[in-house]
Amino acid sequence: MDGEEPMPLLRPGQTCWRVAQAERLAVIVDAADYFAHVREAILNARHSVFLIGWDFDTRIPLQRPSHDAPHPNKLGKFLSWVIDKRPDLRIYVLRWDLGALNGIARGSTSLVMLDWMTDKRIRFRLDSAHPAGSAHHQKIIVIDDVMAFCGGIDMTADRWDTRAHLDDDPLRERPTTKRKYGPWHDVSTAVDGEAAQALGELARERWFRATGEDIAPPPPLSGIWPKGLKPNLRDMQVALSRTAPQYETREGIYEIEALYLDAIAAAQRCIYIESQYFASRKLVKALTARLREDDSPEIIVINPESADGWLEEAVMGASRAKMLDMIRKADHRNRFRMFNPVTAKRRAIYVHAKVMIVDDRFLKVGSSNLNNRSMGFDTECDLSVEVCVTDANAAAKSRTILDLRHDLLAEHLGVEIDAVERAIEAADGSVIGGIESLLSDGRSLVEFVPPAISEAQDSMLAENSLLDPERPSGRRKGAKRLLRRIRRFLRL
């Protein structure tokens, strides 16, 4: 870090809800590890488990290949088994209501959830406490208020993958049909201490808004932490930032948008982003403003090759092409790159992660994408850490943030972490130069070239304010039209 202390990015009431201490913070890359660590944490639960998410599929196996442990491996049966073994434990599952409609044809999933509804110790509810067309998009798991997970990974089908992202992994299959799906990249975090307690408060608040039920917090309990989960940072202040749309008497919350904008403005050397989309007008405008500067930071965006679904690609893909056109007109110093990761056989790896790293100072992982919805229309939750010059062990913490960036790049490029570091050093500190020197014909990154916008996509752009709005419009006709579009996308 530079010696001069810049203005702090994490400011409660502005760019975050609150800042809380975590004794340990770990960044978990890809769902194979995430599912395993969540499973171990829940096995140690004593009072309560909150699972707050966009979607859950009770049939997914948590460990692949299946283990020989005494407990079941599939999510639904596993939770039921845990409850049977711990009479004092309560489990609360909150899932987006429209997302649940997508599970109507999911075989045993709905039956298992109906069974849960008859067990007072497992409470399954749908979250509809949001404007029409808005999505409950947070991905939070809290155990006893002493450990919590927060990030971009849903515990549902088509998410499990290892960091190897093999071309033909036989374990990458849907739970009932056994249909194979492609490689999937995602990121989450785990925290303990006061940060976990704050996420517990947020989970109970969301449960109350969705159900009207006020759940008491757990009594003080000793900490838990999965044995195989190595913390990246210790004794760190962690910020919780939210998005929530204005709804009924609740005012809108736009902390994530404010944090993105301030982080972009504060960058000195490099902004590294992983996102499912690249469609936020405000954020792209802020990036464009930085690129016009003579001392612009490098900006690297890791995106999927195409959106997941024809409707998303028709709208988000066209929006991305439009945003990239704005970026390239401003990038007079050639400081911007967008890359797509590919496998050894050049198969596209889908990017679902939501990560932002600014210089060696700031790290954000959460549920928010670089699209309009995440800034003010859907419910989101991100965790962030910021290293200040006055922090104890500031140099080591800054080094950890850089190591995380290099670790992600090493995964995408199919090389070791030290190769990334050496390549950047050889390029005089240019992250773009280091990446481009490591590009290969195998497992690697490919620079994204936007396709021409078709007439159909051009037409869909006119609907972008409905499908990817920045704020609720309050117009009933528009909301109904949006719901019809979303239902069609979900193939209902």
Asked if residues 372 and 243 have their Cβ atoms less than 8 Å apart, the reply is no
Q: What is the band of 472 on the pLDDT scale with cuts at 50, 70, 90?
A: confident
The fold for domain 24-233 equals Endonuclease; Chain A (3.30.870)
- DSSP conformation letters of 310-372: HHHIIIIIHHHHHHHHHHHHH-TT--EEEEEEE-TT-PBPEE---EEEETTTEEEEES--BSH
Give 116: exposed, middle or buried? Use CB within 10 Å, 0-12, 13-18, 19+: buried
Whole-number pLDDT of residue 106: 45
Q: What is the band of 309 on the pLDDT scale with cuts at 50, 70, 90?
A: low
Asked if residues 358 and 431 have their Cβ atoms less than 8 Å apart, the reply is no
Asked if 24-233 and 236-447 have one fold, the answer is yes
Whole-number pLDDT of residue 105: 43
CATH of 236-447, one of 3.40.605.10, 3.30.870.10, 3.40.50.1100, 3.10.150.10: 3.30.870.10
Angle between helices 431-438 and 417-426 (to 10 degrees): 120
Round to whole Å and give the CA distance between 29 and 37.
11
pTM as predicted: 0.92
Residue 171 has pLDDT above 60, yes or no: yes
Tell me the average pLDDT across 311-333. 82
Round to whole Å and give the CA distance between 192 and 198.
10
pLDDT tens-digit profile of 197-234? 999 999 999 999 999 999 999 999 999 999 999 999 99
DSSP state of 241: E
Residue 343 has pLDDT above 90, yes or no: yes
Task: Give the whole-number percent of the chain exceeding pLDDT 90.
Answer: 76
Closest CA to 76 of 88, 89, 90, 93: 93
The pairing of strands 350-351 and 233-244 is unpaired
Average pLDDT, the chain: 89
Residue 465 has pLDDT above 90, yes or no: no
Round to whole Å and give the CA distance between 467 and 478.
10
pLDDT tens-digit profile of 280-308? 999 999 999 999 999 999 999 999 998 76
Whole-number pLDDT of residue 304: 95
Round to whole Å and give the CA distance between 96 and 56.
9
Asked if residues 25 and 233 have their Cβ atoms less than 8 Å apart, the reply is yes
pLDDT tens-digit profile of 431-456? 999 999 999 999 999 999 887 665 54
Round to whole Å and give the CA distance between 353 and 139.
12
Residue 99 has pLDDT above 60, yes or no: no
Rg of the chain over all Cα atoms, to the nearest angstrom: 22
Closest CA to 27 of 192, 196, 223, 191: 191
Tell me the average pLDDT across 310-335. 82
Q: Using alpha carbons only, give the angle 371, 372, 375 rounded to the nearest 5 degrees.
A: 100
SS3 state at 34: helix
Asked if residues 322 and 452 have their Cβ atoms less than 8 Å apart, the reply is no
pLDDT tens-digit profile of 351-387? 999 999 999 999 999 999 999 999 999 999 999 999 9
Domain extent listing, the chain: 24-233, 236-447
Task: Give the whole-number percent of the chain exceeding pLDDT 70.
Answer: 86
Greatest CA separation for the chain: 64
